[in-house]
Amino acid sequence: MSDNQIEEVKSKTDIVSLLSEYLELKKAGRNYKANCPFHGEKTPSFMISPELQMYKCFGCGKSGDVFTFLEEHEGMEFGEALKYLADKAGVKLTTFKTEITSEREKIIEVNKSALNFYEYVLNSHPQGKRILEYLTKDRRLKPETIKLFKIGYSPESFNAFSDFLTKKKKFSLNDLKLTGLLVGRGIDRFRGRVIFPLMDHRDNVIGFAGRILPWVRQDMAKYINSPDTPAYHKSKVLYGLNITKSYIRDAKFAVIVEGEIDMISSFQAGIKNVIAIKGSALTEDQVRLIGRFAKKIILCLDSDFAGDEAAKRGAILAENLGFEVRVAHLEGYKDPDEIARKDPEKFKKAINDAIPIWDFLINTAVSKYGIETGEDKKKISQEVIPVLVSIEDKIVQAHYIEILARKLSVPVEAVFGQIEKNPSASLRTSEDVAIYGQAKTRRQLLEEKLLVNAISQKSKLIFKKETKELVSSEFILKVINNFEKNKNLPEELKEGYGEMVLANSESEDIDKIIFELTKLKLKQDLEDLGEKIKLDENNKELLTEFGEISKKLSTL
């Protein structure tokens, strides 16, 4: 791939347009800002420069261009990012190699063929007839639902699957081993199971889940999944997001269920903004992925959520990353699949009536133990206090401290006291953000403002000798000299200059900046002279110079 084509794709891709597909951008002077997608924050420190076509987070330090964003945010390899952006920009990569360039892409290609095989067996082969009847009659899945979610079936045959992929599709056994589709001596891992393809949010087939049928031996695992591969990581997948992401964005919230069947039944019942996780615990990667489409989550989980510590940690993590997290109570039904099939209207009402996660956890503890005795209240306290400690927003925390105190009929001070005694309270910080580098001086900040504004406004004041003399930074002087000679910035200067552009979004008056810098320089000169005079109090030249600078400063 030639550098020319890479530059052509980059020049035809606007970083602001691209990133606005993933983040909520707000104009900030000449730049744009957003909450950083790479670390949790509540105050935006992620800046994007349309002028330089780059981004920089002043919280975690991540920076780059359109390619690095897709690589780090979407998990794409460079070749995949290049092809993706080329397609969007209408650039034909004439010299791009057609062979697969990574293990991830090879896995996705093999999985796509495997999916075609599974779908064919379910819908068009005699072995799929009984399974299709089971799905439509027993599970009440409509044919259009089965087609939309690309549900398939893996036959009981020992070699039909591997023969199809190796003999007809010409994949090697090594290719199939990469995907984890085969076990033992080349037997399909999912043999005899209903197949649910696992897609990323860009519709790539990254893995599969297989479910046993009710008439086969029940000593087998009910569900099995693809092993972790370069394409599939269980902790990063949200089942159904490729289909429901637009519904989630429109509804401004996501309904979270456990497993493929719960998700599909919910969707078919009219709850379109639904996605599924594996198990009951949300991971940080999943939370951040949901955050691209909505900042509100409603949990509809069929396990003992309140007693599942991992599930609670996931929900609390989402809250502390700025999400609104609620819990729906599916009264009288064991899981979302059952209520979706039997009473979809009640399911929708349960979602509408979902309560905040903190209320749910407090209410559950009170219901579980009762409040009749001091021992009951002690058990509630032991369960709920760690939850209250985990609330980072102090106002929200104070609100629920009062609620717990009222429910237990104890003074608010008693609950506060227990929180202070909790060992994890002292370990928390108000912001989960690492600030890199030391604070800059006023003079350093003004020098950066001068450079950025002068270049942006095409002012030649920056090139005057008397202006350069105000600048103490060798780095800024190098940048000024490069621009004065109409030279492109060398690589070693580009990143530092880009960070200054991103940090100085607002357009400011250059004359005022020069005025402020002049005063600061004169003050610094006076301090330096003062130190010298201390060592040589009778030096007339130093005293004269001190007087002249003092006079200049006083006139300003």
Q: What is the DSSP string of 298-309?
A: EE--SS-GGG-H
Task: Please give the single-letter amino acid code of residue 48.
Answer: I
Dist. CA 280–CA 308, nearest whole Å: 8
Dist. CA 526–CA 548, nearest whole Å: 10
> Phi and psi at residue 456, in whole multiples of 5°?
-65, -40
> 214-235: per-residue pLDDT in tens?
888 777 788 899 998 988 988 8
Q: Is 428 helix (H, G, I), strand (E, B) or coil?
A: coil
pLDDT at 325: 94
> 176-205: per-residue pLDDT in tens?
888 999 887 788 899 999 999 999 988 899
> 471-525: per-residue pLDDT in tens?
888 889 988 988 888 767 777 787 788 888 888 888 888 999 999 888 888 888 8
**What percentage of the chain exceeds 90 in pLDDT?**
41
pLDDT at 431 over 90: no
Confidence category of residue 100, pLDDT binned at 50, 70, 90: very low
Task: Please give the single-letter amino acid code of residue 67.
Answer: F
Q: How many alpha carbons fall within 13 Å on the CB side of residue 509? A: 4
Residue 491 corresponds to which tokens in the numbers above?
């690589």
* Over residues 457-471, mean pLDDT: 89
pLDDT at 101: 54
Mean pLDDT of the chain: 86
pLDDT at 430: 32
pLDDT at 9: 92
- Which of 298, 393, 372 lies closest to 336, judged by CA? 298
pLDDT at 20: 92
Dist. CA 266–CA 347, nearest whole Å: 9
Please give the CATH architecture assigned to the domain spanning 3-89.
Answer: Alpha-Beta Complex (3.90)
> 262-285: per-residue pLDDT in tens?
999 999 999 999 999 987 789 888
> Phi and psi at residue 58, in whole multiples of 5°?
-90, 10
CATH 3.40.50.720 fits 103-232, yes or no: no
pLDDT at 428: 39
Confidence category of residue 437, pLDDT binned at 50, 70, 90: very low
pLDDT at 391: 87
Which residues, in sequence order, are CB contacts of 247 under 8 Å at separation 6+? 272, 273
- Could you give the residue ranges of the DSSP H alpha helices within 42-102? 66-73, 78-89
Confidence category of residue 307, pLDDT binned at 50, 70, 90: low
Dist. CA 89–CA 51, nearest whole Å: 19
Which among 143-152, 309-318, 398-407, 460-469 has the top mean pLDDT? 143-152
Which single residue is written with the structure tokens 């489409």?
A: 293
Q: Domain coordinates of the chain in residue numbers? A: 3-89, 103-232, 236-353, 361-427, 442-555
* Over residues 284-291, mean pLDDT: 89
Please give the CATH architecture assigned to the domain spanning 236-353.
Answer: 3-Layer(aba) Sandwich (3.40)
> 343-352: per-residue pLDDT in tens?
999 999 999 9
> 113-153: per-residue pLDDT in tens?
999 999 999 999 999 999 999 999 999 999 999 999 999 99
pLDDT at 434: 32
Q: Would you say the CATH fold of 103-232 matches that of 3-89? A: no
pLDDT at 427 over 60: no
Which single residue is written with the structure tokens 């717990």?
A: 404
> Phi and psi at residue 518, in whole multiples of 5°?
-60, -45
Residue 168 per-residue DSSP state: I
Burial class of residue 122 (count of CB atoms within 10 Å of its CB; 0-12, 13-18, 19+): buried
Question: Taking a C-beta distance cutoff of 8 angstroms, is the pair 261, 243 a contact?
Answer: no
